[in-house]
Structure 1
Amino acid sequence: MSDALTPALMAEIHAEAFDTPWDEAAFAGLLDSPGVCALGDEAGFILVRTIVDEAEILTVAVRPSARRQGKGRTLVEQAIVKSKAMGAERLFLEVAETNLPAQGLYGDCGFEIVGRRAKYYRKPDGSFEDALMMALNFPL
């Protein structure tokens, strides 16, 4: 994790990136968990958890002002490298069913849809949205 990438900064970036952001305490708690690491900088970050041979992207957040410049792709690629280095054989994530730009990014990075989580995300209006589960298997 970059020295500048604090839980407070992560919460600030997350609030700019999402309608239902995580707070500073949530990031502090996650960063204190085994196998969790954050990669990124003031423009955006990715949070990854590796347990034994599986890794999961917990969240990716890029400030709106830094989007469409390759930041998200760079973060996902860094997460792939980090996960492999931590011994993972597979990397998972969930993405909102309607988040087509993110799905395209993950697909371009080699992820495939492997399932669905019904009513996984709560929307600001109180309704729910399904998440698509995506995975990337690393070659042995």
Structure 2
Amino acid sequence: MSAILADQGSRIRPLTIEDLDAVMEIERRAYDFPWTQGIFRDCLRVGYCCWCYEEHGRIQGYGVMSVAAGESHILNLTVRPESQRQGIGGKLMRHFLQLARRHDADTAMLEVRPSNTAAVKLYQRLGFNEIGVRRNYYPAAEGREDALLLALSLD
């Protein structure tokens, strides 16, 4: 099976430097406190798993995952705001979990804002469980917001 999945004009493919303008447009629209282009460049430079979901040549979502010492960490998973709740986030997450297993990770971890209820529900549907809370992890309009720390056994 190919590492690139496709159906009806859609595919999951590796993210490239050339994609960063489109990624930044989505990132700025999706978050009040977006990642910078420099963060994405660094992730690509150090070899993190950086993939995007594309439909008819247009990026609809993307994600970044690191894998080391038997653990994968989903660092960013974002879907274009107008394309949310169409299954794109789930497709990307399943792709990342498959990649993590191929890299011999036995656990997948991520942080999520408790206020991001759609994402929390997606991760729970995929089998993630809350294992902790990172206090004051995310910047917020009024100070900081905690992060839920979620994990999934990949065995």
Q: Under a length normalisation based on structure 2, what TM-score does the superposition of the two structures give?
A: 0.83
Show structure 1 runs of 4+ deviating over 3 A. Answer: 2-5
Are 2:93 and 1:81 aligned?
A: no
Q: Report the aligned-residue RMSD.
A: 1.5
Tell me the equivalent position of 2:145: 129
Per-residue displacement from partner, 1:51-75 (whole Å, max 9, x unpaired)? 1310000011111111111001111
1:5–1:105 Cα change, 3 Å? farther
Query: How big is the shift at 1:25?
Result: 1.2
2:39 alignment partner, one of 3, 18, 26: 26
1:53 alignment partner, one of 70, 78, 86: 70
**Partner secondary structure for residue 33 of structure 2:** coil
Q: Is the 8 A contact 1:7 1:25 kept in 2?
A: no
The aligned runs of 1:31-110 (5 Å cut-off) are: 31-34=44-47, 36-40=48-52, 41=54, 42-110=59-127
Q: Under a length normalisation based on structure 1, what TM-score does the superposition of the two structures give?
A: 0.91
**Partner secondary structure for residue 104 of structure 1:** helix
Higher strand share: 2
Task: Give unmatched runs, 5+ long, in structure 1.
Answer: none
Q: Is the 8 A contact 2:30 2:81 kept in 1?
A: yes
1:107–1:11 Cα change, 3 Å? same
